[in-house]
Amino acid sequence: MRIALAVEYDGSGFRGWQKQPGGGTVQDALQDALQQFATVPVQVVCAGRTDAGVHATGQVVHFDTDLDRSMYAWVRGANTFLPAAVAVRWAQAVTGDFHARSSAYARHYRYLLINRPHRTGAWHGRVGWYHHPLNLAQMQAAAEQLLGERDFSAFRAAECQAKSPVKIMHRADIRRFGDLLVFDFEASAFLHHMVRNLVGSLVEVGQGRHPPEWIAELLAKGDRRLAAPTFAAAGLYLAAVRYLPHWGLPSSDGTLFLPCSLNL
C-alpha cells in the first residue's frame, strides 16, 4: 500500500528536510516516528526538499507499507512519536503510481517579511526582517515580470541540481498587512534558493536601489552574480503542493498563523 501524508513543521531547529549523516533533519524525525509506530523501517519521499531554517505548512510525502492501519491511525500514530515542531495533518491511501514529487504539477511558497525599524522577538525564526521602508507598489510591479515561462538562472543557487532553469511561474504577488509583507509564489517547480533569491531582489527594488524593470533585465541576462544576495531562510514556508483531482488527495494548503492576527 502507498500512503501520502501532509506534513507541517517549524524548520528552525532542523538541518533541512533531506536525511543526512548525523541526523537532525525533518526527514529523520518523520521516518523515526513512522518506524516507531509501524515497528518496521519506513522510507518517505517528499514533494520538495527545504533548506535548514525553512518551514512548511503543506509538505506532502509518500511511503510504501504492508501494515494494515486506518488513515486516522497513521496520523495519530506518527504524531505521537514526532517532536513538537513537526506534525502530520492528514493521511490518504493512493495508487502505486502516485509520487509525491513527480505527480505534483505546482508548488506554492510563501515568504513572510517584517518591514519595520526594529527586529521581532516573538516571531524570531518565523519571519524575515528588513529595517528600511519598502515601496509595495514598486515591488508588485517587479513581481509581475516573473509570471509565465521564464529562465530563472539569475535566481538559481550555484549548487542547484535541477536539469533545467526554465520554470512556469503561475503566481507572484506581494501584499502588506501593517508591518508584514507576504510574498506568494506558485510555479511548476522551483530551483534551489530561487524564492529567497527572488525576495532579495524584490526587496532591493522596494528600497529604490533598482527600478521594477531590473527584474526583467536579470531574467534576460541569466547571471546570478547580478541579482541580490540570498535572503534569510527564516521567513520561507512551503505552503502547498498541487495535484490533479484524480489522485483524490485533500488540500495540502495549511493555515498559516500570522503575527498580525490574520490567517492566509
Is 51 annotated as catalytic?
A: yes
Q: Which of 28, 51, 64, 66 is catalytic?
A: 51
Contact 258/180 with Cβ under 8 angstroms?
yes
Report which of 239, 132, 223, 233 is spatially closest to residue 184, judged by C-alpha positions: 239
Strands (E), the chain: 2-9, 45-46, 55-64, 86-94, 106-115, 128-130, 148-151, 166-177, 180-187, 236-242
Cell triple for 92 = 490518504
What is the DSSP code (8-state) at residue 235?
Answer: T
Tell me how crowded residue 62 is: count the other CB atoms within 10 A of its CB. Answer: 21
Write out the catalytic residue numbers.
51
